Structure 1
C-alpha cells in the first residue's frame, strides 16, 4: 500500500474472558475484578491518537476479537461501539463489522446493542458438538448454548454468522468430527472456520503434553479429519477459500482477506498487532500497563519497520493460505517487481514438488500443497531477508 492510500481495516482486541481455555495462548485475562471501563476508556484514547496520526479511509472491515468481546455488559458494549463509530465515522456501504462471541455470553439485550451499534457479523467459538469434548478443552458452554445463542442472534437481526470448529482435539475421533460437521451444516450458516488444534507454549495443554498426559489423535487420524471436513464442506456447497475457512459465495471473511493480502490495518487494544505503511507494531499486553500507557500516548510494546524484502516474503506466506493463490499483478503493484524473478528458486522448487501449481496470474497451493501448507510457507521465510 502506498503512503497516500488510507487504511480501511480495523482490528480491536477485547482481552477479557469468562475463563481461560486449556489450549488458548491469546492475550486474554479472566474477567473477574478487571477494570473493564478503564480499559474501554484507554482504548477510546488509543483510537483518538491513532486516527490523528493516520487518518482512516472509508472503513470496509472492523473485526473485534479477544478474549471474548461479548463478555462486555450491554452498557459497556454500547460505550465501546460509540467509541468505534466516533473515531472511524466513515464506513463503506458494504462494511463487514465482525465480533467474536462465545455461546452463552450473548443474551438478546446485548445482541440488540451490538446490532444497533453497527455489528453485522458474528463469529461464534463453538469448537465441537460433544459436551464431553467441550469440557475437556476448558470451554464453559454446552451445545444447548450454541442453539440458544444462534436463535438470539437471529432474533436481534443477524443473518451473517460463522462458527469455529476444531479438530485434532484430545479424545476426538473421526466419527465425532463427522457428527460436529453434520450438526454445523444443519445450521445452514454462510461461513465456517475449522482449525486444527495447535499445542502452544504457556497453555495447560502444553504442560499436559510435556507430561505425556494429552491423548491427541495420531497424525494419520488428523489428516483423515482434515480430508473429511474438506470433502463434506465442498459437498454442501461451501468454497474452501483459505486453508481453514469455508464460505458461501460472497461471504468470505473480509477482515481475514486483509491479512492474507498483506494489506494495511489498524491494530487497537492490549496486545494487538497493527500494520500501516510497512510499519508493524505490537501493543503492551497487560490490561493495567496498557491502560496506564494509553492515558498519555500510544501504548506500544514495540514498533518496527518491515523491510521491502520481508514484506515480499510475507506477501507469499500469507497470500498462499488463500486457495485462489497469489497474483503477479498484485505483487507488482505493491513492490514494483516481478514475482517470478524475485522468488524464482523457491517457486520452481515447490512447483516441481507438486505442492504449488501455476494459475493465469500467479500461483496457488495444489491439492497436495493444501495438506502440507506449512512446508510450502517455510520455503519463503528468510529467502530474501536473510541475504
Structure 2
C-alpha cells in the first residue's frame, strides 16, 4: 500500500516515514508540508492512503481532504491531530476522512489504523471518539430538524401556490363570463342588467388587482425590501379614502365611522393598502356591525377596524402574522376567498414604518385590528 505523508513538521514526517517503511505491507511514496502540496502529490503519485495533519499553513487538512476526495474518491485519508478537538475532527470526518489519530500514539496504533483504512474500515482514536460521536449526533439531530422544517415549508409553499391559482382563476372566470354574456346577448339584455354585469366585472378587476398587489408585496418582503417612501399625511383623510374604496359594498351592513383629525408619518400608499385590507377582512369574515376609527391615543395616531365576526384563535393568529404561507382555512371550499396575506403584509409594512400592529381577537366576540403610526414631524 502506497502512503503519502502530509505534515508541516519535517521531523514528524521523517519519523513517520522511518516507522512505516519498516513494514513490508506499506511504502511511503511522497511527502507534503501543506494541504495544497498534498492535493498535487495525490494527482502525481496516486497513493492509496494519505496520512494527513489537520492544522497546516496554505491549506489545512479539512480543505485538502475535501479536494482530494472530490478528485480521487478512492483515496483514503487518515487524519492526524495534536489535540482532541471534537469539532475539528468532526469537520475532518465530514470532509471525507476515513479515520483520525492523536499524534504521539504507539506505532502499533498507527499501523493498525493504516491497515483498517486500507481495508475500507474506519480508524477512530478512543480518546476523541466519544466527543466526535456526540458532535455528529448533535449535527444529525440538527439536520433532521432542519429537514422537517424544510419539508413543512415546502408543503406550505405548494399549498400556497394552489390557493393562489384558485384565487386568481375565480375573478378571471367571473370577468370572462360577464364579457361572454354581453358579447353574445348585448341586444337582448336590458340596461339595468348590463350595468350590474359591468359593476360585477369592475369589482372582480379590483379584487384581481388587490391579489396581484399582495403577491408582489410579499415578493418584495421576501427579497428584503419594501421600498417605502415615508412622508407626513392626514390619517383621517386616508381612512375616509379607504372607506370610499368600498363604495356600494356596505349596503345592508351596519358600518359606523369615527374619523377624527390625525396626522401621521409613513408611506401613505402602503398604509392605505393596509387600511383597505383591514376593512376587506371585516367585510369578508363578519356579518355584524363594523366600526372604523381614526384618531390619536396618547399622542400616537392610530386607525382601527372592529367587527363582530368569528375572531381568530391565538395560535392561528400568530401563524398568519409570522409567515405569508399560512392560512386560517386553506381549503378551496372555504367561505370567503383571499390569500390570507393581509395581516402578514400589515405587520411588515407597519414595523418597517416605525409603527406597530395590534390585534385584539376572540372567537366569541370578534376582532379589533389596529395600526399605530409615528406622528407627523
TM-score (norm 1): 0.21
Larger radius of gyration: 2
Larger proportion of helix = 2
